[in-house]
Chain A
Amino acid sequence: MNAASPSLVPRLGHGFRFQWEPAQNCHVLLYPEGMVKLNQSAGEILARCDGKTAVAAIVADLAKTFAMDDTAGLEADVRAFLAMATERNWVALADAVSEETA
Chain B
Amino acid sequence: MSALDNPKRLGSIGQPLWLLAELTYRCPLHCVFCYNPVDFARHESELSTNDWLRVLREARALGAVQCGFSGGEPLLRDDLEQLVAEAHTLGYYTNLITSGVGLTEARLDALKDAGLDHIQLSFQDSTKEINDFLTHTRTFDLKQRVGDMIKARGWPMVMNVVIHRLNIEHMDRIIQMAADLGAEYLELANAQYYSWALENREHLMPSREQLRQAEEVVDRWKEKLAGKMRILFVVPDYHEGKPKKCMNGWGNVFLTVTPDGTALPCHTARMLPGLEFPNVKDMDVAAIWNDSPGFNFYRGTEWMRDPCRSCEHKEQDLGGCRCQAYLLAGDPNVADPVCPKSPDHHLVEAAVARAEQGIVPAQPLVFRDPKESRRLLESVAME
Residues of chain A having any CB pair with chain B under 8 Å: 14-15, 17, 19, 21, 23-24, 28, 30-35
Q: Does B293 contact A (CB under 8 A)?
A: no
Cα A21 to Cα B120 with chains together (Å): 24
Q: Which of B59-77 contact A (CB under 8 A)?
A: 62-63, 65-66, 68
Question: Of B152-160, B235-243, B260-268, B346-354, which binds chain A?
Answer: B152-160
Which residues of chain B have C-beta atoms less than 8 A from A35's C-beta? Answer: 17, 65-66, 93
B285 smallest CB distance to A (angstroms) = 13
Which residues of chain B have C-beta atoms less than 8 A from A31's C-beta? Answer: 93, 156
1/0 per residue, CB under 8 A from A, across B80-106: the answer is 000000000001010100000000000
Q: A19-B91, A23-B15 are in contact. Are A32 and B65 (CB under 8 A)?
A: no
Q: A14-B156, A17-B117 are in contact. Are A32 and B15 (CB under 8 A)?
A: no
Which residues of chain B have C-beta atoms less than 8 A from A17's C-beta? Answer: 93, 117
Q: Does B109 contact A (CB under 8 A)?
A: no
A15 & B184 in contact (Cβ 8 Å cutoff): yes
Cα A32 to Cα B185 with chains together (Å): 9
Partner of B93, one of A14, A23, A24, A30: A30
B84 smallest CB distance to A (angstroms) = 14
Q: A15-B155, A23-B62, A23-B63 are in contact. Are A32 and B91 (CB under 8 A)?
A: no
Q: A15-B117, A35-B17 are in contact. Are A30 and B156 (CB under 8 A)?
A: no
- A28 closest partner in B (C-beta): B65
Which residues of chain B have C-beta atoms less than 8 A from A34's C-beta? Answer: 66
Cα A14 to Cα B66 with chains together (Å): 17
A/B interface sample: 19 pairs, CB < 8 A? A15-B118, A15-B155, A15-B184, A19-B91, A21-B63, A21-B65, A23-B15, A23-B63, A28-B65, A30-B65, A30-B93, A30-B117, A31-B156, A32-B95, A32-B118, A33-B66, A33-B68, A35-B66, A35-B93
Which residues of chain B have C-beta atoms less than 8 A from A21's C-beta? Answer: 63, 65, 91
Among A23, A28, A31, A33, find the residue whose CB has the most chain B CB atoms closer than 10 A: A33
Inter-chain contact count A-B, CB under 8 Å? 40
Q: Which of B25-81 contact A (CB under 8 A)?
A: 62-63, 65-66, 68
Cα A78 to Cα B66 with chains together (Å): 29
Cα A17 to Cα B62 with chains together (Å): 19
Which residues of chain B have C-beta atoms less than 8 A from A15's C-beta? Answer: 117-118, 155-156, 184
Which residues of chain B have C-beta atoms less than 8 A from A28's C-beta? Answer: 65
Which residues of chain A have C-beta atoms less than 8 A from B185's C-beta? Answer: 32
Sort A-B residue pairs by CB-CB distance and give the 7 closest, nearest first: A23-B63, A15-B156, A30-B93, A32-B118, A17-B93, A32-B158, A35-B65
1/0 per residue, CB under 8 A from A, across B112-148: the answer is 0000011010000000000000000000000000000
A33 & B156 in contact (Cβ 8 Å cutoff): no
Cα A28 to Cα B91 with chains together (Å): 11
Cα A24 to Cα B63 with chains together (Å): 8
Cα A24 to Cα B65 with chains together (Å): 10
Cα A5 to Cα B66 with chains together (Å): 34
Q: A30-B93, A32-B95 are in contact. Are A14 and B154 (CB under 8 A)?
A: yes
Which residues of chain B have C-beta atoms less than 8 A from A32's C-beta? Answer: 93, 95, 117-118, 120, 156, 158, 185
B367 smallest CB distance to A (angstroms) = 28
Cα A94 to Cα B358 with chains together (Å): 54
Cα A69 to Cα B17 with chains together (Å): 39
Which residues of chain A have C-beta atoms less than 8 A from B68's C-beta? Answer: 33
Cα A17 to Cα B66 with chains together (Å): 11
- A87 closest partner in B (C-beta): B227
Cα A19 to Cα B60 with chains together (Å): 14
Cα A28 to Cα B64 with chains together (Å): 12
